[in-house]
Amino acid sequence: MAELLDALADCLDRVQSGERLENCLRDYPEHAGRLRDLLKTADLVFQAQQDSGAEAADEQSQVRARVEQALENRWLEQQAKRRANRRVWVRRLGLLAAACVALVSVSVVFLEMMGPRVGSVFSNIVNAYGGVASYSTPVPDRDSPPMEPVMTSVARMMPAPPADGLSGVTAMPVGPTAGFLEPQAAPTQMALMPLSAGEINDNARWDDYLLYRRNFLAQYAGAAHDVDVSGRQIILVTGEDGLPVLGARVQVYAGQRLVSDSRTYATGQTFFFPSARPEAQNAQSFRVVVSKGEIARQFTLEPQRGPVWTVTLAEAERPTPRLDVLFLLDSTGSMGDEIAQLQNNILNISSQIAARLRNADVRYGLVTYRDRGDVYVTQTTDFTPDVLLFQASLNAVRADGGGDTPESLNEALHEAVQNVSWRGDDVVKLIFLVADAPPHLDYPDDYDYAQEVVAAVQRGIKIHPIASSGLTPDGEFIFRQIAQYTMGHFIFLTYEQGVPGTPGESRPDLHVGEAADPQTGRQGDYTVERLADLVLRLIMDEMAALNRKAEIAAGAVSPLLRPAEPPPMPTPVLPPAQESGLRLPGLDSLWQPELSLPVALLVVSLGVYLGYTVRRPAPKRKRKNDEIIED
């Protein structure tokens, strides 16, 4: 048996190496028959193994082919779904276009049927929220019936105690007289546009102001308080470096009686008026105490040797200046034709201040006022460094109420000067009073504007009145009194040919002279510029004065304290609430107020349609696993 197995192994090796089977069998004749049978059996087993391996490879290739076919089918299905979705969106856009055309057609027909009234009302709504449509106020007998004034109980104020400065001044009732208190003109439709304005610095043109004051008091005796400023004394406080000292306290004594108490402004100056108080009128000399912190100096002031007095204080340090700006706004119905423009201009001013004084500590405040018997007498938004918050409060102001010509300016000044959170001495403090009417001088238990300006000077607050259209002669005089006493400027809006509605260069109802004309070379009494630029220039001049050498020309505020040419203004930046009010050049002629309603309906419909289409939840798709069925 062993010999047979050895022979079988030898034959297998030789056959696999390529030798013929017969040659091997001849070598083993005794086992030839058995070897032949065994070798045939081995050959059959080998072939069977090869056949089974081929069948397995065949099966794997079939499975792979079926998987590839399934993947291809799924890709084809996804492509078909995408094409179907595109067809659905095309149909939706077609329906939307048809709906828009229908809405515009219906709106046009509606406007044709209702006339211009709808367009005017809608324009007011758009403009109130910062739009670009033209602004118009309701006119009686045209847009709406007259509104009855809302009568509310108003607490009567006790008169303010006399402040050191003008204790002898009393309120003198003034009633309407023919030809003096003119009725307010009906507001007219006007486009929202930058306002133009001029300014008068009565302290720099002192002789002209004294002549104007004398003529007014001779013609309108009793129409305003007679605060005698004719003996004005200028006190300038500087540091050892020659720069002005802000917020220095200047106290003037007649004997042992304090007759004046004030703070220096950014120019280092303050005023003393010896003739303004009875107890000071007969004094030949005064003791003046100037102090800042723990440093103080005093000197003797003799008016006959005046009118300019300079004091040097050795300041220990010069703190970083801060700025508080408050807008005092008349919001009665007579301001309705300009309230939107004023809002836009004031917003422009606050935006430019924020851009120009980025690192400065700036706060903004707002006081609006009307008259007794209205919904409110005063409303206050206290100081905030948040420009957007201030602008939101300003945007909410609406013109209403009033009735007669004078308004509650006395109470408004008291609120603005004494009831808001003004900061300490090292702060530039400015009030911009925007109004078109004088204060009531006939109200019982009222405050007194003459006393409030004294309180403003005590706190170092400078007031710049801005006269709107329709200001009466007594209103102009009082506004200029307020500006002169607090070292402010009298600002007035200017119009085309003096008629409110279109910015121009004329203001014939005021005693301000004529505008300068650069084209003809006429000097004029004032120059005209955009209101926002003018106010911004005054603010920037005030801040810049802190870093300039303080000088005074005899008898007047030195023009050297103001730059000869204002710095270039940056591009106006409107706040987010007003960005929609920007107009691109060349597009003004394409916009018509009558298009407001169709455009609004179109935008609303588009928003509703897209909101429904985008936010609607998509239907859930059923997923099915690919199944491969094996044969």
Return the CATH number at 513.
3.40.50.410
Per-residue model confidence as pLDDT tens digits over 413-447: 999 999 999 998 899 999 999 999 999 999 999 99
**How many helices (H) and strands (E) in the chain?**
13, 17
Distances (CA, A) of 336 to 22, 94, 137, 183: 128, 45, 6, 15
Distances (CA, A) of 448 to 161, 174, 328, 565: 10, 14, 16, 38
Q: Highest mean pLDDT range out of 112-126, 310-324, 450-464?
A: 450-464
The single-letter DSSP state of residue 517 is B
pLDDT at 57: 66
Position 282 in a domain: no
Position 306 in a domain: no
398 and 543 in a single domain? The answer is yes
Average model confidence (pLDDT) across the chain: 76
391 and 425 in a single domain? The answer is yes
Segment among 127-141, 486-500, 550-564 with least mean pLDDT: 127-141
Q: Highest mean pLDDT range out of 40-44, 223-227, 479-483?
A: 479-483
Per-residue model confidence as pLDDT tens digits over 322-376: 999 999 999 998 888 778 887 888 888 888 888 888 778 999 999 999 999 999 9
pLDDT at 409: 96
**Local confidence band at 561 (pLDDT 50, 70, 90 cut-offs):** very low
596 and 467 in a single domain? The answer is no
Nearest to 43 by CA among 21, 62, 22: 21
Distance CA 363, CA 430 (A): 11
pLDDT at 45: 62
**Local confidence band at 598 (pLDDT 50, 70, 90 cut-offs):** low
Three-class SS state of 529: strand
Distance CA 279, CA 257 (A): 8
Question: What residue has token string 């009565």?
Answer: 202
- pLDDT of residue 144 exceeding 70, the answer is no
Position 67 in a domain: yes
Query: 397-415 burial, b if ≥16 CB within 10 A, otherwise e?
Result: bebbbbeebbbbbbbbbbb
532 and 606 in a single domain? The answer is no
pLDDT at 565: 35
Distances (CA, A) of 469 to 177, 460, 472, 484, 504: 20, 29, 9, 21, 12
Q: What percent of the chain has pLDDT over 90?
A: 40
pLDDT at 340: 83
Per-residue model confidence as pLDDT tens digits over 190-222: 446 788 999 999 999 999 999 999 999 999 988
Position 254 in a domain: no
The pTM assigned to this predicted structure is 0.60
pLDDT at 50: 66
128 and 56 in a single domain? The answer is no
Crossing angle, helix 596-615 and helix 116-128, to 10 degrees?
60
477 and 510 in a single domain? The answer is yes
Position 44 in a domain: yes
Q: Which two three-digit tokens encode residue 602?
A: 């179109």
Query: In sequence order, what are the residues at sequence separation of 6 or more whose Cβ sits closer than 8 angstroms to the Cβ of residue 433?
Result: 328, 413, 463, 464, 465, 466, 479, 482
Position 489 in a domain: yes
pLDDT at 412: 97
Higher pLDDT, 40 or 278: 278
238 torsion bin: left (phi>0), alpha (psi -120 to 50), beta (else):
beta
386 and 470 in a single domain? The answer is yes
454 and 597 in a single domain? The answer is no
- pLDDT of residue 12 exceeding 90, the answer is no
pLDDT at 534: 94
429 and 509 in a single domain? The answer is yes
- pLDDT of residue 265 exceeding 90, the answer is yes
Segment among 114-123, 283-292, 520-529, 568-577 with least mean pLDDT: 568-577
Q: Highest mean pLDDT range out of 65-69, 604-608, 623-627?
A: 65-69
Position 41 in a domain: yes
β-bridge mates for residue 200, sequence order: 490
Per-residue model confidence as pLDDT tens digits over 45-87: 666 666 666 666 677 778 778 777 877 887 888 888 888 888 8
- pLDDT of residue 28 exceeding 70, the answer is yes
Per-residue model confidence as pLDDT tens digits over 450-506: 999 999 999 999 999 999 988 999 999 999 999 999 999 999 999 887 777 688 888
> How many domains is the chain built from?
3
Containing structural domain, residue 407 = 198-219+326-580
CA 409 from centroid of its chain's CA atoms: 26
122 and 36 in a single domain? The answer is no
- pLDDT of residue 151 exceeding 70, the answer is no
Position 560 in a domain: yes
Distances (CA, A) of 141 to 122, 137, 151, 399, 593: 18, 12, 23, 19, 21
**Average pLDDT, stretch 312-326?**
85
- pLDDT of residue 156 exceeding 90, the answer is no
Identify whether 439 is preceded by a cis peptide bond (ω within 30 of 0): no
520 and 572 in a single domain? The answer is yes
466 and 605 in a single domain? The answer is no
Residue 564 has phi, psi (to 5 degrees) of -60, -40
pLDDT at 199: 96
Distance CA 551, CA 545 (A): 11
Crossing angle, helix 116-128 and helix 32-114, to 10 degrees?
120
65 torsion bin: left (phi>0), alpha (psi -120 to 50), beta (else):
alpha
Question: What residue has token string 């455009």?
Answer: 599
